[in-house]
Amino acid sequence: MKRNPGKDTYVRQYVLGTHESEKEEEFEQRLLTDEKLLEELSIVEDELVHDYFSGALSESERERFEKRFLRTAAGRQELEFLKTSRNYFANLPASEKRVPLPRSWKRFLPAFLRGESPILRVSFATAIIILVFAGLFAVLRNRSNERGAVFSATLVPGQIKNIGGRQMNVVEVPPGIDLIKLQLAIGETSAQSYQVSLFTDAGEEIFTKDSLSAESTAIGIVVSVNVPSHILNRGDYRLKLTSPTSANQSEEVAAYSFRVIRR
């Protein structure tokens, strides 16, 4: 019969008489104070009786067991109990009905989760949660990496669409673009941050972004804003750039008109 040798090695050795004598006193003193150890010793004795009876012990273990455990009437009594139990069940008539044992839903769990250690179960649940989040993170990260190329366009303020065909900013978006980076050219500025509001030609606000900052580029000082491509369908748009002046107020810095053409 297989058992976990690591756990009850000393106990098993004690029963067989192969234990380290230096640790014997400590072990025996523990038997007087540790209920669980006492019980474990009895369990190991039962298992060794079983192994002895079924021939699972090695030759040397058999000899030791006979010399140490079976030398007393009490030890032999244990063996007789096992033999009698086996005979009893072997002689039960075939018609003797077996009592069905209650089946637990936990039988579907792996062995280590069927344990009664809450620490183990919590650790396993925590590990699963970490794995799920790690997986989600990886998926989201891959999705962001898999976005199409960003298309940049520079807008110059002040050009307002004129029905008469006055020139306005044109943003010609190639296919397969997920993000349109609008670089809003501005003059000298001392604002700490900016807010962008995007309107359709009909005046409907379809996108806003705040806490933007100005940056110096080759074309001058710009405020950049990334607009999801699906928002800017073919058509005309107006973009307002503002900066906060106080807690609840802001002033317009610039306005931009542009036409989106999809290739």
Partner 1 sequence: MSDRWELNKNAFEELLSWLDPDREAAARKYETIRGGLIKIMFYSSDSAAEELADEIINRVAMRLPEIRKTYRGNPARYFYGVARKLALEYQRRPREPSLIEGAHAVPNPETKDELRYECLESCLQRLTAVNRELFRRYYEEDKPDQRKELAKLLGITEETLRVRIHRIVQPLKKCVNKCMQKGNPMK
Spatial distance between the Cα atoms of 171 and 200, rounded to a whole number of angstroms: 14
* Closest C-alpha among 218, 158, 209, 155 to residue 185: 155
Q: CA 226 to CA 236: how far, in whole Å?
A: 18
Stretch that binds partner 1, among 97-105, 127-135, 138-146, 218-226 (CB under 8 A): 97-105
Q: Classify 201 as helix, strand or coil.
A: coil
Stretch 45-74: interaction string toward partner 1, x if CB under 8 A: -xx--x---x-------------x--xxxx
- What would the x/- binding string for partner 1 be over residues 169 to 208, using CB under 8 A? ----------------------------------------
| From 21, 22, 59, 101, residue interacting with partner 1 (rule: CB under 8 A) | 101
Least distance between partner 1 and beta carbon 31 (Å): 4
Question: Is residue 21 at the binding interface for partner 1, with CB under 8 A as the rule?
Answer: no
User: For residue 143, how many C-alpha atoms fall within 13 Å in the half-sphere facing its CB?
Assistant: 6
Assess contact for 17 and 61: CB atoms under 8 A: no
Q: Between 68 and 161, name the residue whose CB sits nearer to partner 1.
A: 68
176 with 148: CB under 8 angstroms?
yes
Size of the site for partner 1 (CB under 8 A): 56
> Vertex 131, ends 125 and 136: CA angle to 5°?
130
Choosing from 111, 119, 202, 218, the residue that interacts with partner 1 (CB under 8 A) is 111
Sheet holding 150-155, edge to edge: 150-155, 179-185, 220-228, 214-217
Is 38 a residue that touches partner 1 (CB under 8 A)? yes
Least distance to partner 1, CB of residue 65, Å: 12
Q: Which is nearer to partner 1, 82 or 173 (CB)?
A: 82
Task: Spell out the SS3 assignment of 132-199.
Answer: HHHHHHHHHHHHHHCCCCEEEEEECCCCCCECCCECCEEEEECCCCCEEEEEEECCCCCCCCEEEEEE
> In terms of CB distance, is 19 or 262 closer to partner 1?
19
Q: How far is CA 163 from CA 57, 158, 168, 205, 236, in A?
A: 101, 16, 11, 21, 12
9 binds partner 1 (CB under 8 A): no
- Interface with partner 1 includes 80 (CB under 8 A)? yes
Single residue of 22, 95, 98, 176 touching partner 1 by CB under 8 A:
98
* Binding interface with partner 1 (CB under 8 A): 1, 4, 14-15, 17, 25, 28-29, 31-35, 38-39, 41-43, 46-47, 50, 54, 68, 71-75, 77-78, 80-82, 84-90, 98-107, 109, 111-112, 114-116
